[in-house]
Structures are given as structure tokens and as C-alpha cells.
Amino acid sequence: MPEPVDPERLAQLPLDKLVACHECDLLMHRPALAHDEKAICPRCGYELFSHRHNVVNRSLALVLAALLLYIPANFLPIMQLDLLGQASQDTVWSGVLGLYNTGMPEIAVVVFLCSMAIPLLKLMCQLLVLLTIRLNMGRSYGLLLYRIYHHLRDWGMLEVYLMGVLVAMVKLADLAQISLGLGLACFVGLLLVQVWLEVVMSPHQIWVALSGEDTRAGD
């Protein structure tokens, strides 16, 4: 557990040796962690950061899995709707086009950005950041890309789109025959892989590895 900093010694300590709690703002000495250890705030119990094993390689595998799922998740049918003898297959991309063609271009742009463009841009930023660490080159660009990624985190809303699809299915279930498509399975898989990636890709270790403070931070 980290030790709080004595205010009288604060000016004598380098900033890279300190850590502040995101919840209660307690300033502490930054501890050196072994694999699978966590640093906990002694005041409020908030998890400051953790040191996970083999972060870069595990995160790279998850990013590549998410990129493989991206195209089928967005362009394969999510569901097939049979109504009065007419069948239609809906995908994420066809939903964007449908909104645009029915006179709602602004909503179509928002859906496209939040469900397709920004999630893809986040994955590309994560891939390039991990490659800069893995190949030990261009880490200054990696820092820039990781900052961009953090600004984009709140704009990729795959879970909101998925909830909208599930609500639509429930409301249409009594009106038409609905068949689930492979695209829905890929979309759910993409969402789960991205959530798993958020857990595995420890921000503290990535920042430290990019700054070059500890070459073993991504191990």
C-alpha cells in the first residue's frame, strides 16, 4: 500500500515518484509493484493502478481480434425481419444509410461516428500505441496517439447501439418474425473484446512504457 507524502518533503521529491488518488486526491509515494500486484489508496481504498503480466502481447492479441470482428459486426446482417411476406436484412451500415435516406442526415452522422468510425479509430490508436512499445520505436508518436485514444474513449458507444437493437427486437417481436443474424454475434463479440481490452491494457503501465521510465513496464 502506498505511503502518504509528508508535506514538508513534497518539494524535494521528483514528480515521477508521486501518485495522486483520482477519488480523494491523496498524494502518495508511487510504489514499485511486482506482477499482478495492485496499489490501493490507504484513505479511500480506490485502486490507483495495477501491474499486469504480459500487458502488451495480450493487448495486441485482443486488438487484432477486435479488428477481425469489426467488418462482419458492421456489414453482416444483425437480424432478418419478415413482415407481411416481405423480408429485409438489417446491418449497422444499412441502418446508417436508412437514417440518411429518410431525411435524418444529422442523426445518421452521429450513429456512424459513434458506432463505426470512432470505435475503429480507437482500435487503430491502440494498435499503433502497442506496436510502438513492442517494436521500441516512435514512442513520442505513441504518446500522442494514446492521448487521442483517451479523448475518444467516451465517444465510442457500441453498447448504446446494442441496447437500441435489443429494444427494437422486443418491440417488433409481436409484429413480425425476427431471425438473428451472424452480424449480431460478431457485434456482441466485438463489444466484449473491447471491454476485455479495457481491463487488460493497464493505462499506468502503458504510460510508463511510452515515457521510457521503465522498459519492463509492458511485460
Residue 26 pLDDT class (50, 70, 90 cuts):
confident
In this structure, what are the phi and psi dihedrals at residue 28, rounded to the nearest 5 degrees?
Answer: -135, 165
3-state secondary structure (DSSP) of residue 27? strand
Residue 208 pLDDT class (50, 70, 90 cuts):
confident
Q: What is the pLDDT of residues 102-128, one digit of tens each?
A: 888 998 998 898 889 999 999 999 999
What is the pTM assigned to this prediction?
Answer: 0.77
Q: Determine the pLDDT at residue 15.
A: 65
Is a pLDDT exceeding 60 seen at residue 215? no
In this structure, what are the phi and psi dihedrals at residue 213, rounded to the nearest 5 degrees?
Answer: -65, -35
Q: Determine the pLDDT at residue 65.
A: 96
Q: What is the pLDDT of residues 166-187, one digit of tens each?
A: 777 776 666 667 777 888 889 8
